[in-house]
Amino acid sequence: MTILGERGTVRIGGVAANQMQHWEFDSADPDDELARASSYESQSVYGSGHVLYYENVIDVLRGTSEPDTDGREGLRSLELLAAMYISARDGSRVSLPLEH
């Protein structure tokens, strides 16, 4: 998957979207190296991200951890997915944030 934006480009590949293949933006961010180093090995199309997510959910419910993501971040992810579907369906560009 390649995302081309006004200020940068990201390409994610691999059998489970587990390889950060390209990460380039017009200005640096302290988290850039974390993103570039986020690739991992996987033999499964499901990758390993779900396990870490569920571990965090359980730890939050037990009161031993803070959530890695909150509802607002989850909505941003859903908005991006919806925009991709709309763009593919309509064959057109879709700007974010989506108009509600």
Residue 9 lies in a domain: yes
Question: Does residue 62 fall inside a structural domain?
Answer: yes
- What is the reported pLDDT for 47? 64
Does residue 76 fall inside a structural domain?
Answer: no
pLDDT tens digits, 10-58: 999 988 888 999 999 999 999 999 998 888 887 777 666 678 888 999 9
Is the pLDDT at 65 greater than 80? The verdict is: yes
64 domain-assigned = yes
Residue 96 lies in a domain: no
pTM of the predicted structure, to 2 decimals = 0.51
**Does 55 map to a domain?**
yes
**DSSP-derived secondary structure for the chain:** -EEE-SSEEEEEESTTS-EEEEEEESS--TTHHHHHT-----SSTT-SHHHHHHHHHHHHHHTSS--SS-HHHHHHHHHHHHHHHHHHHHTS---SSPP-
Q: Which domain holds residue 10?
A: 2-68
**Average pLDDT of the residues of the chain:** 89
Domain-embedded: residue 11? yes
Q: Is residue 99 part of a domain?
A: no
Domain tally for the chain?
A: 1
